[in-house]
Amino acid sequence: MPDVVQKLWGFCNTLRHDGINYGDYIEQLTYLLFLKLADEKSVAVPAGFGWDSLLERSGTALTDHYQATLNRLGKEKGLLGDIFAGALSKFREPVNLKKLILLINETEWAELDVDLKAETYEGLLQKFAAEQKGAGQYFTPREAIRAIVRCVKPDLGQSPDYTIHDPAVGTAGFLIAAAEFNLKQRGQPLTREQQKHLKRGCLSGGEIVLETRRLALMNLYLHGIEGDIHYGDSIAEGASSTGAGQQFDCILTNPPFGTKGGGEVPDRDDFTVATSNKQLNFVQHVLTILKPGGRAAMVLPDNVLFEDHAGRDVRQLLMTDCRLHTILRLPVGTFTPYSAGVKANVLFFDKGWKTDAIWVYDLRTNVEKITKRNPISAKYFEGFEKAYRGKPRRESDRFKRFTRQEIIDRDDNLDIFWLKDDNQENPDDLPEPEDLVSEAVTRLETALDALNELAVQLSNGQSEA
């Protein structure tokens, strides 16, 4: 990790004494970094509210002017207004604000290599996600994201107006990995027109948390991209969150897990299954906004694969409208240290063909658990990526093919595993308490979803009577 990350993050620990937590710090850093870059790149900023106006002030005059600057810039149109929308200063001590400004001023950010600037900001986001409880929902481990993108291959060469979308964009990890794939891994350089399209017009997303949307916009900007990130609830807003009737060639997403914010059935005419389950509704949303012939990869918790009633209905809908061709069972601890113990999967599917068979790769059973001391890395996914790209695919101990009829015989339960877990028979290698708690929480949430579904059905029955 670059020294500048350590320096900036070290100052964050100082600011905690000023009542500024990790999330607030990253947000304030985003405002100041953008102003510094705008100054270096000669980006138009309202007169009197640029970087120099902060450098020349101190004391309460600085803190007052800083808040005035945030207010003024938040009223601008375009990216400037998006970055500063609803921005508030969290500094109580002028000396701390001045120290951070001077710290940022030590570096000529525009002269840094794009990869270094991006790595710096990503490093801060990663530390934020690791330290701030609950922030993991916005930050998917980058090695997992890159492995998924290498499999899906979202190649701009497929059409002049190729589009990539993430309806739960978080800090834009999937969009950035898709951009990096096109710039470095697609096999041949992008044309000038393709480069212009990648930097503006190709990448979009939705984010329900304003502060997180800001982080996504800044993350993309530091990667040289002006992404279109809609602020709002992708599920509740439907077409208005993407543009009326707009569909996308590729969707890569990790919707938020859990039932927080759930409990209501979206008023969506384009949803076939009425359910209050957020993950199931995200699946339906993706089915709606994915173009025929389009590719998708979704990170989903275990309960989506085995839940009855609405869960089964949505899985049947998915397998009817799309060719669900691959399921990757992720290792336990994939989201460590952000959300340790969560059990999740990646579903890969193409729209426009029915599912005839599903390949399942078990990267969980008898796989070394991911911990802080043993972080996730690219090597974890090497076997899966090789099996995924196999032409033809071949079965192995970890990779099995199941026909659609075999899935039907399982009552469309996709929580498929066949390997014997050696750890369950070893008393010295029992599951970690956090894993047991996570599994218990998943079961409780599944039960809660079922109760919500029952409540919806009862309510509908009463309304029809």
pLDDT average, residue stretch 116-130: 78
Please indicate, yes or no, if residue 118 is contained in any of the structural domains. Answer: no
Residue 455 has pLDDT above 90, yes or no: no
- Other residues' Cβ atoms within 10 Å of the Cβ of residue 199: 16
Q: How many angstroms separate the CA atoms of 359 and 327, rounded?
A: 6
Which domain, by its residues, includes 99? Answer: 3-112
Q: How many angstroms separate the CA atoms of 351 and 354, rounded?
A: 8
Residue 448 has pLDDT above 80, yes or no: no
Q: How many angstroms separate the CA atoms of 233 and 193, rounded?
A: 32
Let me know whether 147 and 107 are in one domain.
no
Q: Could you tell me the pLDDT band of residue 432, with boundaries at 50, 70 and 90? A: low
The Cα-based distances of 240 to 82, 152, 203, 244, 263 in angstroms read 18, 27, 17, 6, 22
Helix (H) or strand (E) holding 127: helix 114-131
Q: Strands 357-362 and 399-403: what pairing? A: antiparallel
H-helix segments, 153-209: 173-184, 192-199
Q: What CATH number is associated with residue 265? A: 3.40.50.150
Phi-psi region of 56 (alpha: psi -120 to 50; beta: other; left: phi over 0): alpha
What pLDDT score does 345 carry? 95
Peptide bond into 337 cis (omega under 30): yes
What pLDDT score does 325 carry? 98
pLDDT by residue (tens digit) across 22-47? 788 888 999 999 999 999 988 889 99
pLDDT by residue (tens digit) across 294-344? 999 999 999 999 999 899 999 999 999 999 999 999 998 887 766 666 789
Please indicate, yes or no, if residue 281 is contained in any of the structural domains. Answer: yes
Let me know whether 15 and 143 are in one domain.
no
- As beta bridge partners, residue 55 has none
Peptide bond into 392 cis (omega under 30): yes
- Total tally of structural domains belonging to the chain: 2
| Mean pLDDT for all residues in the chain | 86
pLDDT average, residue stretch 427-431: 53
Residue 3 has pLDDT above 70, yes or no: yes
Lowest mean pLDDT, pick from 326-330, 369-373, 458-462: 458-462
Let me know whether 61 and 154 are in one domain.
no
Percent of the chain with pLDDT over 70: 86
Q: Could you tell me the pLDDT band of residue 2, with boundaries at 50, 70 and 90? A: low
Specify the DSSP class assigned to residue 394.
Answer: -
What pLDDT score does 312 carry? 96
Q: How many angstroms separate the CA atoms of 58 and 86, rounded?
A: 24
pLDDT average, residue stretch 125-129: 77
Residue 444 has pLDDT above 80, yes or no: no
Let me know whether 182 and 33 are in one domain.
no
What pLDDT score does 22 carry? 78
Compute the CA torsion angle 261, 267, 273, 277 (nearest 10 deg): 0
Let me know whether 299 and 361 are in one domain.
yes
Let me know whether 136 and 219 are in one domain.
yes
Q: Could you tell me the pLDDT band of residue 355, with boundaries at 50, 70 and 90? A: very high
Let me know whether 52 and 160 are in one domain.
no
What pLDDT score does 419 carry? 94
Residue 461 has pLDDT above 70, yes or no: no
Let me know whether 78 and 173 are in one domain.
no
What pLDDT score does 159 carry? 93
Residue 258 has pLDDT above 80, yes or no: no
Q: What is the distance in angstroms between the CA of the first residue and the CA of the last residue of the chain?
A: 63
Q: How many angstroms separate the CA atoms of 225 and 219, rounded?
A: 9
- Other residues' Cβ atoms within 10 Å of the Cβ of residue 226: 15
Residue 250 has pLDDT above 70, yes or no: yes
CB 223 within 8 A of CB 118: yes
pLDDT average, residue stretch 339-362: 92
Please indicate, yes or no, if residue 26 is contained in any of the structural domains. Answer: yes
In a 10 Å sphere around its CB, with 0-12 CB exposed, 13-18 middle and 19+ buried, how is residue 40 labelled?
A: middle
Please indicate, yes or no, if residue 68 is contained in any of the structural domains. Answer: yes
What pLDDT score does 244 carry? 67
Residue 362 has pLDDT above 50, yes or no: yes
What pLDDT score does 134 carry? 53
With b for 16 or more beta-carbon neighbours within 10 A and e for fewer, the 376-414 pattern comes to: beeebbeebbebbeeeeeeeeebbbebeeeebeeeebeb
Let me know whether 101 and 144 are in one domain.
no
Percent of the chain with pLDDT over 90: 55
Q: Could you tell me the pLDDT band of residue 14, with boundaries at 50, 70 and 90? A: confident
What pLDDT score does 349 carry? 98
pLDDT by residue (tens digit) across 134-176? 555 556 888 999 999 999 999 999 999 999 999 999 989 999 9
Let me know whether 161 and 42 are in one domain.
no
Q: What angle do CA 329, 438, 26 make, to 5 degrees?
A: 90
Please indicate, yes or no, if residue 425 is contained in any of the structural domains. Answer: yes
Let me know whether 341 and 405 are in one domain.
yes
Please indicate, yes or no, if residue 448 is contained in any of the structural domains. Answer: no
Q: What CATH number is associated with residue 90? A: 1.20.1260.30
- Other residues' Cβ atoms within 10 Å of the Cβ of residue 30: 23
Q: Could you tell me the pLDDT band of residue 1, with boundaries at 50, 70 and 90? A: very low
pLDDT average, residue stretch 364-385: 88
Please indicate, yes or no, if residue 454 is contained in any of the structural domains. Answer: no
Q: Could you tell me the pLDDT band of residue 429, with boundaries at 50, 70 and 90? A: low
Q: How many angstroms separate the CA atoms of 258 and 303, rounded?
A: 10
Residue keyed to tokens 């900023």: 45
What pLDDT score does 397 carry? 96
Q: Which two tokens stand for residue 428?
A: 């010295």
What pLDDT score does 123 carry? 80
Let me know whether 266 and 415 are in one domain.
yes
From 103, 109, 139, select the one nearest 22 (Cα to Cα).
Answer: 139
Q: Could you tell me the pLDDT band of residue 11, with boundaries at 50, 70 and 90? A: confident
Please indicate, yes or no, if residue 126 is contained in any of the structural domains. Answer: no
Q: Could you tell me the pLDDT band of residue 436, with boundaries at 50, 70 and 90? A: low
From 318, 305, 299, 284, select the one nearest 413 (Cα to Cα).
Answer: 305
Q: Could you tell me the pLDDT band of residue 416, with boundaries at 50, 70 and 90? A: very high
| Higher pLDDT pick, 442 / 109 | 109
- Other residues' Cβ atoms within 10 Å of the Cβ of residue 451: 11
What pLDDT score does 446 carry? 58
